[in-house]
C-alpha cells in the first residue's frame, strides 16, 4: 500500500489562479498519468482550475508502488485530495479514471466530506454491469501486449520497446487489476449531474453500456458520442473540452 502523507503528490500540474471559482479533478486511464491533462489547463474558462490527479506508479510518483485494488486506492485518494475540496468541484475520469472518480464520489458522500457538483465519465461501462471480458492482468507478457494493442491506447513504438514495456508492465498490470477485481455494491444514486462520453467505434464499451449510467444519478443525465475508439479523448480533445465547458457554465455564474 502507498502512503498518502505527501498530499501534493496526488495533484500534479496544479497552478492556483486568483480567478478560480471551480475545480475540475481529472483522473487518467490505466497506465496513464497527470500529463494526459497537461494541455487542458488553458482550455477552460478562467474560473475553472484543472487539478490533474497523479496515481502512484507513474509520472513523478513512478517509484511508488501502484495500487492493485480499488478500495485502498479510494481511501488514500480521498485523504490526498481533501485539502483541495474547498471550492465547488467536479470529477472527470476516462476509462479506469471513470471508475475511480465514481467510487471516490460515493466514498466522499459516505464519509460526509464533500460531493462533486458534476461527474464526467468517459469510456467506462456503467459500474453495475458485469465485465464481459476475461481478466488480462495476469496474462503472460506476449498475450498482455496483444490485448493492449487491441485497446489502441499505447503507442506502437512503446509496445515494441521491450525495455520500456518491462518498466510499464508493473503499473499497467496493477491498473487492470484495480478494474478487473472491482466488485460493485448497490447504493443510492448520486445527487450530482452526470455527463457520459463515449467513442462511436469503441469495441470495449458500447453505447448501451454507457446509457446504463443514468441509473447512477437522481439528477440530470446526458450522453454524448464522439468519433473514435476507446481513446477518442486524444484526437477529439477540442470538442470534448467544449462539451465539458458547456456543462460547467451553470456553476460559474
Q: Which residues are catalytic?
A: 95
Confirm if 252 and 21 have CB atoms less than 8 A apart: yes
Q: What is the Cα–Cα distance from 215 to 217, expressed in whole angstroms?
A: 6
CB of 224 within 8 A of CB of 197? yes
SS (H, E, C) 113-130: CCCCCEEEEECCCCCCCC
CA distance 156 to 153: 9
Cβ(181)–Cβ(70) below 8 Å:
yes
**Neighbour-count burial for 108-127, b at 16+ CB within 10 Å, e otherwise:** bbeeeebbbbbbbbbbbbbb
C-alpha R_g of the chain: 17
Three-state DSSP class for residue 42: coil
CA distance 194 to 72: 25
Amino acid at each position: 500500500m502507498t502512503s498518502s502523507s505527501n498530499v501534493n503528490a496526488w495533484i500534479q500540474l496544479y497552478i492556483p489562479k486568483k480567478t478560480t471559482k471551480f475545480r475540475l479533478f481529472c483522473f487518467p486511464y490505466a497506465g496513464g498519468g497527470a500529463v494526459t491533462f497537461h494541455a487542458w489547463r488553458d482550455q477552460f474558462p478562467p474560473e475553472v482550475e484543472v487539478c490533474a490527479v497523479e496515481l502512484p506508479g507513474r509520472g513523478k510518483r513512478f517509484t511508488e508502488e501502484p495500487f492493485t485494488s480499488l478500495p485502498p486506492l479510494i481511501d488514500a485518494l480521498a485523504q490526498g485530495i481533501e485539502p483541495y475540496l474547498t471550492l465547488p468541484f467536479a470529477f472527470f475520469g476516462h476509462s479506469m479514471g471513470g471508475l475511480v472518480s465514481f467510487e471516490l464520489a460515493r466514498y466522499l458522500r459516505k464519509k460526509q466530506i464533500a460531493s462533486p457538483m458534476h461527474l464526467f465519465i468517459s469510456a467506462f461501462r456503467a459500474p453495475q454491469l458485469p465485465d464481459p471480458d476475461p481478466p488480462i492482468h495476469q496474462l503472460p507478457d506476449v498475450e498482455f501486449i496483444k490485448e493492449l494493442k487491441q485497446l489502441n491506447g499505447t503507442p506502437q513504438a512503446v509496445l515494441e520497446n521491450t525495455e520500456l514495456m518491462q518498466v510499464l508492465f508493473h503499473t499497467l498490470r496493477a491498473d487492470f487489476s484495480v478494474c478487473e477485481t472491482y466488485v460493485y455494491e448497490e447504493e443510492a444514486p448520486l445527487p450530482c449531474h452526470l455527463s457520459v462520453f463515449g467513442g462511436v467505434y469503441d469495441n470495449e464499451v458500447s453505447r448501451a453500456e454507457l446509457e446504463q449510467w443514468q441509473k447512477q444519478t437522481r439528477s440530470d443525465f446526458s450522453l454524448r458520442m464522439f468519433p473514435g475508439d476507446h481513446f477518442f479523448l486524444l484526437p477529439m480533445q477540442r470538442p470534448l473540452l467544449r462539451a465539458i465547458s458547456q456543462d460547467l457554465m451553470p456553476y460559474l455564474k
